[in-house]
Structures are given as C-alpha cells and as structure tokens.
Structure 1
Amino acid sequence: MPAPPLWLRWLPAFYVAMVLAIEPITPVEWPVSFLLIALPLIAAYAHGPAVVAAVAVFALAFEGVLAGTPCCAGRSVGYLWDRHYVANYFCTSLVGVLGTLLAVHRIRRERALATVRSVAETAQRVLLRPTPGRLGRISLDTLYLSAAAEARIGGDLYEAVPTAYGVRLLVGDVRGKGLVAVETAATMLGAFREAAHDEPELSGLARRLERSMSRHAAELPGSEAAERFVTAVFAEVPDHEEVVRIVNCGHPPPLLVGGGQCRELHASDPAPPINLFALAGDGYRVDVVPFCPGDLLLLYTDGVTETRDAAGEFYPLVDRVRSWTAPLQPRELLDRLHADLLAYSGGHLDDDIAALAACRLADETDD
C-alpha cells in the first residue's frame, strides 16, 4: 500500500503552526482556536486511526491552552470555560471521532484497492505475456497504457507467436470495458495462440478466430453475444521473404516506417471485426507489403489516434512519427510515442492503449 505524500503527512503540523501564528494578532472576539476543530479531519487524510485520535486529544488540549491564556490577543482574563469554548471542545471531540472512523475507512479502501491492483497485474501478466526482444529475424517490443490507474487491464490485447510460417502478430481491441471485455480478450488470445501454429494461411487464421469467437458468443444469453466483437489486425513476417502479410478486421491501419517514408497500410479490402463476419462474408483479403531490413512496423489500437489535446484535436500519429527522422528501434519508438502521447494529452489518457512494434533485423546473425 503506497504511503501518502510527505506534504500531506506534515499538513496537520503546518495547520497548527498557522493557528499559532495568527492567534496572538486577532481580537478576542475572533477566537482563531476554533479552527482546530478541523485538525482531526486533516490528519485523517494521511494517518491511521490511532494518530488521528491522538491529534484530536491534542487539539482539545491546545484549544484549552489558548482559551485559558490571558496574554493571547491582549486578554485580561482567560475563557477556558466560556460557553462558546465549551461548545468548541464538544465539536472537536465529535470531529475527532468522525476523523478516526474516516481514517479506518480510508485504510480499508486503500488495502482493498491494493489487492485489486495486485490481482489485475497478475491477470495482465497471464493475458498479456511479456514478449521477447527478438523472435526469428525481427526485434519487437510492446506498450500497454491504462487510462485509469486503478484498472491495469482492459479490452486491448496484443500477442506475438513464432510459428513454422514466420512470426505472427496480433493487436486487437474488444468493444466495451470491464470484466466482459477482459473475458473476451482472454478468449481471443487463447484462440490465437493455438491457431497461429495450425493455420498455414493468414486468412485461415483470421477465419479460425472468427469461428472461435462466434462459438464463444453463442454461449452467451440475449443481446450480449452480439456486442462482443473485436477489431483486430493480423500480421505475418515470414522467415525467408522480405514482406509482411496483413489482414485487417476493422482495425486502425498499421504504420510502416522505412526507406525515408512513413505511411499507413490501409487494407485493400477491409474485413469486419471478429464476430461480425456474418455482415460481410466474402472471405479475408491478405495484403502483402515489402518489409526490408531496417523497416519498422507499428501496430496499435485506436487509443493512440483518438487521444485529444486541450483543443479537442486528435493525435496526428503519422505526422508525429514522420517527424522523428532518426532510425529508431522498437523500444525507442514506443518510449517516444508514450512520452509524446502524455505531453499531447496533458497527462490524461481517455482510453487504454496497446501497441506492438516490430523491426526487421539486417540479417539473422545480428544480436
């Protein structure tokens, strides 16, 4: 459980110092010691119930000292048992009890949140396994950014699998949020990891996943089944050809950087998202694009291009990447993309982002 910031832990002391500073200079009609009523609540933001209770007792004693000291604010007599001060003691005691209960509740919520985060991180490691830095003739890296700090996983997914047909890549985005999206992403990833080794054609792999997701959706009640679709892009980098094969199922187009150019690889015949193939049904078109040594392929979800700045403008991915003229390795590209997205959005992301970058190596002997 993370500790509260240092300034928040010291805030009660600063508050008492402020009261001490202004009490001697205020008229007796304006008893600043009444401000100490809030002290237990201030302490409850960063301290446990025992500390908050001790702060409440201190506030009561300090109020009595200030009320009973004639020298404060030019008083000739003390006001220790004046009815207004007695009401002040009562209010401070009540706020002290409430602050102690608030501290108990806050600590319980923080522990529950820490448990949820731990479970989410474990689930993410199971669903989105770390990819190796190199598979076959390509080097690759991944990036996953969650829009909410409390939710480490969502419906965005990625995977890279070395097969007899080359390295096969998948980036997808499940419609919706929450546990339904996570369950659908798990089903999609499980089907891909199995079918990627069995299907010789990339179009057959997409068709296989369509059948798997359709069967899974058919087991769900009512209209919920139709809502579980996944936009996805499949890519295949063969071991002995300088090409990349792509099947796009309603997903943002991959970005190819190489040869002094940066361009989007739009599908010649886009397919509908996975689990919506009944809306089209003419098969999956495989696009073949030259992929030379040093070229870099970026697969991403729409959280990248739908990131907005303060003026509401969408993130210009192609223009930004094109401006990074120096050749970049996958990790360098993703780190720069990460920093640029946060700067563009003012540090606030509205959607989860999953991206996978692959860079073809110059030859098979490179490390």
Structure 2
Amino acid sequence: MWWLPFAAVGLDLISEAALGGREPVSFLLTGVPPLVAATRGPRGTAVSVVVCLGLQMLMAWRRPGHFDEPHHVALYVATFLIGVVSVLLSVQRERAQRHLIRANSVAEALQRTLLRPVPPRIGHVRAAAFYTAGEGGTLVGGDLYDVCETPFGVRAIIGDVRGKGLDAVQAVAAVLGGFRVSAHEWEDLPVLADRLDLSIDRNVTRTTVGDPELFVTALVL
C-alpha cells in the first residue's frame, strides 16, 4: 500500500484547489506520516513530515491572517508530534522486520538440516519429496520423512509427531537422527522401529518438552 500517502496528499491538494481556499483542508495531511511509516523507513517518514508541515503552512499562508492563528499553530504542532511518533514506529517496524528475517533464516536452516533434500534417484528407486508445515506461518513442524540407501536396500520413513512447535521439532530430530544411523545397521524393519523408539527415549526428555504422552506415528519401509 505504498501509494496511500501519495493518494492522501493528492486528495488534499485537489480539495484545496476545488474549494479555492475557502475552507481549511490541510488537517487531512496529519494522517500522512503514519501511512508512510507503514511502508517506508525512518528517513522517508521524516521527509513526509517536513513535506506535510510545509504544505500546511503554505495553504494557511495563502489565506491572509490564517498562518499564525491558534488553531493553525495547533495543527502544526499536532502534525509534528504525530510525525515524531511515526518515525519511531517506522524504526520499530524495520527492527521487527530484520528480526523476523533472521528468525526465518534460522528456521529455514533448521528445516534443511532435519528434512534433507531427496535426490531424484536413490539406488534403484525414483524418489521425490514435498513438505509444508501444518501450522500456518512456520517453516518447521512435527512432520518428518527421509529416504536413504543402505547395505540392505533403500529405506524410507514418513511420520508425524504428536504436538506442535519446538517440542515436536525436538522429537523429529531424535527420530531422523536415529533413522539415519540405525537404517544402515539393522536389516529387519521391526528391529529398526524398536531402535527409533529407543532413540526417542534416550534423546527426548518428556518432562522437558512438557508432554508425558509424547509419541510418533511413522511408517518405515
């Protein structure tokens, strides 16, 4: 919505021209700096404050005796104060945006570490994988999969951890870590499943994750 501030200024100027200066419309410019702060940085917001103050003073100066009237002076002060707050809001918005970018980068790196890309061919098997977190706005969750070639053939796992958030991610890491090691050591799939269950017991502390009924539903093939 970057065009909203320009539309607001344009509407104010058109109204001023249409009314021929008979009615004060410069108060509409007071809302421009917050609109700019929503899409621009601190410098752009500060420039908008200066522009709005200049236009307000220019419109008042065109009407004799209106420039230094108390209500016009109050309008200048209000615009300035709103502009200062808008600049601070813009600083906070950019800071939050940088924090979000860093958090998303960490989450993406975590996802790539846990859910590695699946090559198009593993041994004699063609493979493909696609993952989307069930919880909106997140990159990682409680779903898991992996495919690998072992001395006993191609082994694959696909599963879901009970729960969401970091607790589920911890369980996913334990299961996938155990699978990537045990799949090369155990030929029998039921034994492999038992080793994965043991991996959860050893690497996921239920009291830490706050879920005494933690379990993973998975298919091993």
Q: Which residue of 2 aligns with 1:193?
A: 180
CA contact (8 A) 1:113 1:150 kept: no
Q: Which residue of 2 aligns with 1:127?
A: 114
- In 1, the alpha carbon distance for the partners of 2:20 and 2:59 equals 13
Residue 210 (structure 2) aligned to one of 188, 210, 224: 224
How far has the Cα of 1:223 moved from its partner?
8.3
SS at match of 1:226: coil
Q: Which residue of 2 aligns with 1:145?
A: 132
Structure 1 unaligned segments of length 5 or more: list them. 1-7, 71-76, 236-367
Alignment of 1:2-13 (within 5 A): 8-13=1-6
Q: Which residue of 1 aligns with 2:31?
A: 38
CA contact (8 A) 1:67 1:80 kept: yes
CA contact (8 A) 1:174 1:185 kept: yes
- In 2, the alpha carbon distance for the partners of 1:31 and 1:121 equals 53
* Identity rate, percent: 40
Alignment of 1:210-289 (within 5 A): 210-217=197-204, 219-221=205-207, 224-235=210-221
- In 2, the alpha carbon distance for the partners of 1:148 and 1:101 equals 32
Deviations 1:112-131 (A, max 9, x none): 11111111111111111111
CA contact (8 A) 2:206 2:212 kept: no
Alignment-mate amino acid for residue 116 of structure 1: A
In structure 2, do the counterparts of structure 1 residues 183 and 230 end up closer, same or farther at CA, with 3 Å as the change threshold? same
- In 1, the alpha carbon distance for the partners of 2:22 and 2:191 equals 85
Residue 47 (structure 1) aligned to one of 37, 40, 46: 40
- In 2, the alpha carbon distance for the partners of 1:224 and 1:201 equals 33
Q: Which residue of 2 aligns with 1:107?
A: 94
How far has the Cα of 1:225 moved from its partner?
4.8
In structure 2, do the counterparts of structure 1 residues 100 and 37 end up closer, same or farther at CA, with 3 Å as the change threshold? same
In structure 2, do the counterparts of structure 1 residues 26 and 191 end up closer, same or farther at CA, with 3 Å as the change threshold? same
How far has the Cα of 1:87 moved from its partner?
1.2
Q: Which has the higher strand share?
A: 1
Moved more, 208-217 or 22-31: 22-31
Q: Which residue of 1 aligns with 2:83?
A: 96
How far has the Cα of 1:160 moved from its partner?
0.3
Alignment-mate amino acid for residue 137 of structure 1: H
How far has the Cα of 1:146 moved from its partner?
3.1
SS at match of 2:68: coil
Alignment-mate amino acid for residue 193 of structure 2: A
Aligned residues: 221
SS at match of 2:35: helix
Is 1:65 the counterpart of 2:58 in the alignment? Answer: yes
SS at match of 1:68: helix
- In 2, the alpha carbon distance for the partners of 1:202 and 1:125 equals 26
Q: Which has the higher contact order (CA 8 A, sep 6+)?
A: 1
